Amino acid sequence: MGKKQILFIIAAFVIIGILTIIAINPGGILNKTEQAVKEIATDSVNYSKDIVYNGNHFKADHAPYNDQGHLYLSLSDLEEITDLDTQLDGQSLILNYQDSTLTYQEKVVQNSNLKEDEINEYQVKGDTIFIPDRHIEKFLGIQVDYYLDKQTNTISLLSPAEQQKENYDQEIGSTIFLHRQNVPLAKYEPRNGIYLGGYVIQDEYIDTSMNKFNQLTGKEHASYFRYVGYGKPFPTEWVNEVIAAGGFPQIAWEPNNGLEEVQDDEYLRQFAKDAASAGVPVLLRYASEMNGTWTAYSGNQELYIQKWKLVHNVMEEEAPNVMMLWNVFTMPEGTIEDFYPGDDYVDYVGVNIYNVVYHNDSLEGKSDFEDPLRLLDYVYNTYSDTKPIVIGEFGATNYTVTDGLFHIDFATEKITRMYKHLPDLYPRVKFIYYFDVNNLVNAPEGRKINNYAITENERITNAYASSIKHDNYLSGVQENAMNEETFSYRDFLFKYKSELFVDVQFAEEYLGVEIKEIDDGTYEASYEGKKFTIKREDLTIDKAAFFEKREIHGVPIEEVLDKLEFEYRYENGDLHIYQ
């Protein structure tokens, strides 16, 4: 057999293999969670050659490189990013940064007691000088490191001042609690507890039975949900099944043909009347996840808000037992507030949160580091000052086709972390629903990527059952709730020179202080006729997902509280404020 024939046969086998892989796992078709992530990632900045300094991203003209365990950064990039003062005269190179100086003579560092085995020269490639990280850190005081554990091979630079600022959410971290009296209740809101909810209508392992789910997890759930397309009738039969199981319904009502179909007509009025006839609380999650681009009702904020108000008004007239739930996906954050219809038209604010091992069905998109609590923080901090919070869907991957492996430890850890800490750290969360679905079986073709089910594996079932034993997870509607409420604020705070700084959002939205910027380092604060100036410190932290940054504009919270004469105390590292 000739070489050409052999090559032809090999090529044929390769093509057949590729076609087989495509047939088994067609690319570009993701489940809902991963599709959401894909839409966001498409618009993300490519960080592969960026340098991060004090939270801002600068494109490096000369890519950093690694040589014998040391990172080298181009001098020209350092000059642009750090306001470095450079003096180059023949064989002499002097770098000045703030109060620090780095001197080279004939490429060799001078102001040093370096050991023989330490690097002592900079390198030159072409006409470009590259400075080793060791010298930048030791002599200029700028910290150099890979960004996000080398996931993106991106360099992170921190100035000496930035290095003194400590992100206050390490592991569980500290929380600011605000205690208030006479806080009005939302419809059916539990003041001391979280309604326990689930989605089991696709869990064939338990025959989609709510009673079996309650039995298997060792606790009755207060609520269950299902999806209903706009235009479909109210699911009376299913609602009666929920009631028979001891719960009340959440209905994810989705105008999947676009917002134009939503009119004040016979269909909308009948749906509302049927909801009223249920005779139990109904949590209506209308047109959720609008902040992304993957729904038929995304993109037009004005029309969305107009239709939301229409639905709200009809429900208010026809179905007073309906709670209107405005529910987003945890990302992208940037579009969330554009769709908010206003406090007068919303009973509860919700967010859907998923912990997946990989984003985009890609091994390069590993996301096991994402913390379910931090994925909650943005929506929680933004809205819980005025609205109780709902976790409309929560799921954690226990198997994924991306790597073909089980991730039981991953699932149990994320589930335990979420349910263990919600009652104590997030008192404004009033509902949580677990998304108990094996998408490998129940999702449409092309979306069979993750298994979120908790009923198929004993370890996962036990982890969930153990976590929901907490008395604060409620199995039924809470009556006669108190008017005293505890608010909390997390993640957007840091310590600097032993002072606790919290984002200006907390002072404005939670304490009611009016804040005006005087200059880059000073704010003017006003509260009930009192005016005073306070200093400002900024810190940039990683967002909960991907490789984006968030800027915290911090104010010294104790100084603010002292000026306002608010009572406060520390307990176990947490700050408690009484207003």
pLDDT of residue 382: 98
Q: How far is CA 517 from CA 531, 534, 535, 536, 556, in A?
A: 13, 10, 10, 9, 14
Domain 185-486 sits in which CATH superfamily? Glycosidases (3.20.20.80)
Residues in CB range of 178: below 8 A, 6 or more apart:
486, 487, 488, 489, 510, 511, 577, 579
pLDDT of residue 39: 46
The residue ranges of every structural domain in the chain are 50-166, 185-486, 492-578
What percentage of the chain has pLDDT greater than the value 90?
Answer: 69
Alpha-helical runs (H) found in 264-404: 266-277, 301-318, 372-383
Task: Say which range, 21-30, 332-341, 455-464, 528-537, has the weakest mean pLDDT.
Answer: 21-30
Task: Say which range, 78-82, 284-288, 456-460, has the weakest mean pLDDT.
Answer: 78-82
pLDDT band at 569 (very low <50, low <70, confident <90, very high): very high
pLDDT surpasses 50 at 76: yes
Rounded CA separation 490/428 (Å): 12
pLDDT of residue 147: 65
Q: Which residue has the higher pLDDT, 27 or 561?
A: 561
pLDDT average, residue stretch 479-500: 90
Cβ proximity of 540 and 550 under 8 Å: yes
pLDDT surpasses 80 at 70: yes
Task: Say which range, 30-34, 241-245, 439-443, 554-558, has the weakest mean pLDDT.
Answer: 30-34
pLDDT surpasses 90 at 434: yes
Q: Is the N-terminal amide bond of 332 cis, ω within 30° of 0?
A: yes
Cβ proximity of 73 and 51 under 8 Å: yes
pLDDT of residue 498: 87
Rounded CA separation 492/381 (Å): 8
User: Which long-range CB contacts under 8 A does 536-539 form with residues at least 24 apart?
Assistant: 536/504, 537/165, 537/496, 537/501, 539/55, 539/162, 539/165, 539/167, 539/494, 539/496, 539/501
Q: How many residues belong to the chain? A: 579
Cβ proximity of 293 and 299 under 8 Å: yes
**Residue 248 host element (H or E):** strand 248-254
Cβ proximity of 193 and 478 under 8 Å: yes
Considering only CA atoms, which of 370, 373, 485 is closest in space to residue 419?
Answer: 373
pLDDT tens-place string over residues 541-552: 888 887 677 889
pLDDT average, residue stretch 487-503: 93
